Amino acid sequence: MGIREWIEENIYQRDGAEDWLTLAGGIGVLAFLLLAALLIASCMDYDVADDGGDHWPPKGEQDDDDAGGADSSSQGDDDAGADHDDGGPGDDDTGDDDTGDDDADPADDDSTPWDDDETPGDDDTEEEDCPNGIQFTVIDPDNDGQVAVLSWSPTEDEAIIQVSVNGVYDIYDSYTAESGASQQNETGWVQITNSVNPQGYPVNGNCGNIYLVQDNDNNGAPTQPVYLGTFPLKAGEDNLLTLYHYCPIYRTGQCQGFHIGDANSGSGCNTNNANSIHLDLSGLCIEPW
């Protein structure tokens, strides 16, 4: 007997109280069947075809490492399929690497170009920020990872660079200023002395013999390595890098055009503002000229 015949016989062909009880029972049976069908449907695969629709997992959760092609699988599968490429953290699906991010981390480390975070396994400085850089050694006398100077004192700080090949090199650092607009004259220069360049001047001065690096973070952090000048370096000896602050020579009347703002107010060189300059020694880059 079909469902239709059962309904006609047990619901529509009776009278009185018994008919009402039978009607209620029939409705209960139908409701039970409908609920069972919904439960069965909910247990089926969430993504049953590569149809461009919803898929598992939601964006931002661990993906299934599909390699490309058609996919008819669910959470945790490892068969071929491209529809699960959601770009979430930890997701290393094919085609979901970060644009411009060629460091040595896993494909989807969510790094940004020139991210220089120096975390274990991340070779941004060597591979990404300094693609043509040479190998060198830095000796930090203060053992604080930087050379740093202030507007009034100290106005000089040193580190040692050792290279294995004689040459003329462009010197860069990941940053020189880090205080934003609150210190607008974090300006200074570097000299590197050795036996072939005892005065330590660069080959391309922009303020007499020195190359001044003007404050570069007043409108936001730099997005590229900061150029410090071009210098001859001598292999087999200590090349002494000295960082100098600009404000002392400004106060003697030199290189006035590099000053930013009113010298007597705010962060001017005649005020007590620190205007601190920092060279991150782990962020140094040395490239052949």
Compute the C-alpha angle 162/163/167, nearest 5°: 130
| Predicted local confidence at residue 173, as pLDDT | 93
pLDDT of residue 156: 97
| pLDDT the model gives residue 21 | 46
Cα–Cα distances in angstroms (integers) from residue 22 to residues 4, 5, 26, 31, in the given order = 15, 14, 6, 14
The count of other CB atoms within 10 Å of the CB of residue 241 is 25
Write down the pLDDT at residue 200.
98
Q: Are 285 and 125 in contact (CB under 8 A)?
A: yes
Coil vs helix vs strand at 285: strand
Instruction: Give the residue among 237, 233, 222 at the shortest CA–CA distance from 283.
Output: 222
**pLDDT in the model for residue 5:** 62
User: What is the reported pLDDT for 255?
Assistant: 96
Token pair 């052949």 is found at 288
What is the per-residue pLDDT for 62? 38
Count Cα neighbours of 69 within 13 Å in the Cβ-side half-sphere.
7
Distance of CA 210 to the CA centre of its chain: 33
137: exposed, middle or buried (Cβ count in 10 Å: 0-12, 13-18, 19+): exposed
Average pLDDT per 10 consecutive residues for the chain, totaling 289 residues: 56 49 57 66 47 37 42 44 42 42 42 39 49 94 95 97 98 82 92 98 97 86 89 98 97 96 95 93 95
pLDDT at site 179:
75
Phi then psi dihedrals of residue 220, to 5 deg: 120, 160
